[in-house]
Amino acid sequence: MRLIESINDIKAIIRSQKSMGKTIGLVPTMGYLHEGHMSLVNMSVQHNDFTVLSVFVNPTQFGPNEDFDRYPRDIERDIKMAEAAGVDVVFSPSVEEMYPDGYKTYVEVEDITKILCGRTRPGHFKGVTTVVNKLFNIVQPDRAYFGQKDAQQVVVINKMVKDLNMNVEIVTCPIVREEDGLAMSSRNVYLSTEERKSALILSKSLFEAQELIKNGENRKENILKYIVDRIKSEKGAQIDYVEIVNADTLDSIGEFLKGRVLIALAVKFGNTRLIDNAIVEV
Ligand code: AMP
């Protein structure tokens, strides 16, 4: 396995792999790897001849008061995990390599980036689509792997790929959770012991809401109220949003759940903002 930091170097490697007819899988991450990331890597290694794992904490997707500087990083550990999983190249460019002085170009998906997480994180998805676009141009993957954990990101990336006629297949992988239900996230390390306990209410309320729906509840307001009340009952939980939307388009739905719906939420515990979601077929 190789660690590559330069765009020209990885382009040369990709050219040589492609000239041998190899298929390329890309797993974009911000590093500090956990089992959620590794599930994407395992899929890519299974599906493709050559897997590139990118590790890049992308400054353009962080707001000015967000956690870019303190975002957890451990490239040595990431490299070991990548190697053990069969990754061929870890691509970990510097910020200057990706955004040299005078950088001017951004890719933006409209409307669906302004709702849900986009409301409290203006500019976030513009940063995401820009860096993913750059990674696609650099790595030219046949397939790229994204986690359902970031449900809105999946819809936004799929929209970009479709609208811009990009030649890459987007593969979405299920949410990987800790044994007690908490969705794995690099940001979970920020949580104090008490916050970690409180944060369980996110997966719990989502699981319970799914039970309610299974048992016949189909009024959007009732389900939202149930989840909001459950989360509010937990000390220190500050709700950013709880919403139910069309899972494929993020369009709002009517009074009653119908088709494939996404129940998505973002909640802060202290300074740590966590997201979680569930997709339900009604
Ligand atoms: P990040 O490093 O947080 O930007 O995540 C990189 C990729 O891993 C994204 O496509 C995430 O959706 C995915 N991912 C992060 N956490 C999980 C998880 N718990 N389960 C599945 N995928 C995940």
Q: Which domains does the chain have, with CATH numbers?
A: 2-173 (3.40.50.620), 186-281 (3.30.1300.10)
**CA–CA–CA angle 166, 186, 250 (5° rounding):** 45
Q: Is 38 in the pocket of ligand 1 (CB under 6 A)?
A: no
Residue 23 CA to ligand 1 centre (angstroms) = 22
CB 184 within 8 A of CB 221: no
CA separation for the pair 62, 125 (Å, rounded): 9
Please work out whether the CB of residue 36 comes within 6 Å of at least one atom of ligand 1. yes
| Residue 248: partners with Cβ closer than 8 Å, 6 or more residues away | 155, 260
- The whole-number average pLDDT for the span 105-125 is 98
Q: What is the pLDDT of residue 279?
A: 98
Residue 185 Cβ inside 6 Å of ligand 1? The answer reads yes
Mean pLDDT for the chain? Answer: 98
In angstroms, what is the span from residue 42 Cα to ligand 1's centroid?
A: 13
Please compute the mean of the pLDDT values over residues 136-162 and round it to a whole number.
98
Query: Which of 149, 79, 80 minimizes the C-alpha distance to 117?
Result: 149
CA of 125 from ligand 1 middle (Å) equals 15
Q: Which of 34, 37, 47, 124 is catalytic?
A: 37
In the DSSP assignment, the letter for residue 199 is: T
d(C-alpha 233, C-alpha 249), whole Å: 31
Which residue, judged by its Cα, is nearest atom 18 of ligand 1? 36
Tell me the CA distances in angstroms from 151 to 4, 107, 124, one per residue in order.
29, 19, 14
Beta-strand pair 143-147/24-29: parallel
Q: How confident is the model at residue 179 (pLDDT cuts 50, 70, 90)?
A: very high
Q: How confident is the model at residue 174 (pLDDT cuts 50, 70, 90)?
A: very high
Q: Is the CB of 78 under 6 A from ligand 1?
A: no
What pTM, to 2 d.p., does this model score? Answer: 0.98
pLDDT band at 34 (very low <50, low <70, confident <90, very high): very high
The stretch 193-213 carries a mean pLDDT of: 98
Span 48-73, pLDDT tens digits: 999 999 999 999 999 999 999 999 99
Residue 37 is among the residues annotated as catalytic for this protein? yes
**Is the Cβ atom of 135 under 6 angstroms away from ligand 1?**
no
Q: Taking a C-beta distance cutoff of 8 angstroms, is the pair 27, 145 a contact?
A: yes
Q: Give the integer Cα–Cα distance in Å for 26 and 45.
A: 10
pLDDT value, residue 217: 97
Mean pLDDT value across residues 159-167: 98
Angle 116-120-125 (CA atoms, 0-180°, nearest 5)? 70
Nearest CA residue ID for atom 22, ligand 1: 147
Reported as a pLDDT band with limits 50, 70 and 90, residue 160 is: very high
Q: What is the reported pLDDT for 247?
A: 98
- Minimum-distance ligand 1 atom for the alpha carbon of 27: 7
Confidence of residue 110 (pLDDT cuts 50, 70, 90): very high
Q: Report pLDDT digits (tens) over 204-263.
A: 999 999 999 999 999 999 999 999 999 999 999 999 999 999 999 999 999 999 999 999
- Of 76, 222, 45, 237, which Cα lies nearest the Cα of 143? 45
Ligand 1 near 30 CB (within 6 A): yes
Distance CA 39, CA 29 (A): 12
The percent of residues above 90 in pLDDT, for the chain, comes to: 100
Cα(138) to centroid(ligand 1), Å: 21
Question: What does the chain come to in residues?
Answer: 282
